[in-house]
Amino acid sequence: MGAGRFAPSPSGPLHLGNLRTAILAWLFARSTQREFLLRIEDLDRVRSGAETTQIAELASLGIDFDGDMLRQSDRLPIYLEAVERLKARGLVYECYCSRKDIAEAGSAPHAAPGAYPGTCRNLSASERSAKAQNRPAALRLRSEVNEFSVHDELFGDYTGAVDDFVLVRNDGAPAYNLAVVVDDAFSSIDQVVRGDDLLSSAPRQAYLATLLGHPIPSYAHVQLALNAKGQRLAKRDGAVTLEEITEQGVHPANVVAVLLESLGLPSTSLQAALEAFDPANLPREPWIVEPENIVQQLMPRASGN
């Protein structure tokens, strides 16, 4: 069988929401006898030392991985080769729009809100040459569909917009939607488990996979951990990283227990949770984390260690 994966960006320590998703990805993979792989998505935000910290944090929770770790920054030529294959089929064009340009242009008729309006789709050679004097070009996919459907294990059938999304940014870096598709295919990843904030990206990525001749993976977009205001957890929320919590005397095993409880699973160990794991029983609502209370909730457990 194929593989599942956890793919953090090395922008800082992992917070409780990241760790909860990592546990879920591990449970999905192990319960289906798949390999479980680690990929470092370091094409964008990178903080010195964060990769080492994240790997250590995952190990301290008992999450194990198979095979070699993949690091996206080592694979730039491979992403660009995929773009060349699309170019050869006339499926790539240069775009000179800034974010401000796109926001002010609005959406094309019948396009989804926020979709790229196609401003640079049909520029003449002279128009491209003129625009290139002022701004480097990004490369966009010349999409042949407006929407695409995927199946998600938790959300069911999902149809989302597919616009002419960016493949290569104007600084020359491969874009997220391109890199993840190429990497998943390279690693035989056929199960993608990640936060539900990325559900809307799945149709774009699945469509791109078909264009590149890759199979579409199975998806499971899991509920996020949110703060009391209903926002994604962030550093500003306080003691929500493993590092911050363990510095106050809490053992990582106790953190695992709380994360498993939030999923309705046995909290004694990852192995016990694996034996009881059934995706159909996972919570369908976000986990609300109140950072000011999380350490207090964990301290009684810590005293038993």
What does the domain layout of the chain look like in residue ranges? 3-73+223-302, 76-191+199-214
Whether the per-residue pLDDT at 303 is higher than 50: the answer is no
Is there a contact between 40 and 8 (Cβ–Cβ < 8 Å)?
yes
Look up residue 218 and give its DSSP letter. Answer: E
pTM > 0.75? yes
Question: What is the reported pLDDT for 297?
Answer: 66
Share of the chain above pLDDT 90, in %: 75
Distance of CA 254 to the CA centre of its chain: 26
First vs last C-alpha separation in the chain: 39
Whether the per-residue pLDDT at 39 is higher than 70: the answer is yes
- Say whether 7 counts as a known binding-site residue: yes
Alpha-carbon distance of 190 to 185, in angstroms, equals 8
- Say whether 93 counts as a known binding-site residue: no
- Say whether 232 counts as a known binding-site residue: no
Of residues 46 and 111, the one with the higher pLDDT is: 46
**Topology agreement, domain 3-73+223-302 and domain 76-191+199-214:** yes
Band of residue 107 on the pLDDT scale cut at 50, 70, 90: low
- Say whether 45 counts as a known binding-site residue: no
Question: What is the reported pLDDT for 220?
Answer: 98
- Say whether 202 counts as a known binding-site residue: no
- Say whether 104 counts as a known binding-site residue: no
- Say whether 176 counts as a known binding-site residue: yes
Per the listing, tokens 């196609």 go with 118
Q: What is the pLDDT of residues 41-95, one digit of tens each?
A: 999 878 889 999 999 999 999 999 999 999 999 999 999 999 999 999 999 999 9
- Say whether 186 counts as a known binding-site residue: no
Of residues 296 and 4, the one with the higher pLDDT is: 4
Question: What is the reported pLDDT for 99?
Answer: 86
Superfamily grouping for domain 3-73+223-302:
HUPs (3.40.50.620)
- Say whether 13 counts as a known binding-site residue: no
- Say whether 107 counts as a known binding-site residue: no
Whether the per-residue pLDDT at 179 is higher than 90: the answer is yes
- Say whether 97 counts as a known binding-site residue: yes
Taking the CA atoms of the chain, what radius of gyration do you get in angstroms?
A: 21
The amino acid that residue 6 corresponds to is F
- Say whether 235 counts as a known binding-site residue: yes
- The 3-state DSSP composition of the chain as helix, strand, coil percent (nearest 5) reads 40, 20, 40
CATH architecture of 76-191+199-214: 3-Layer(aba) Sandwich (3.40)
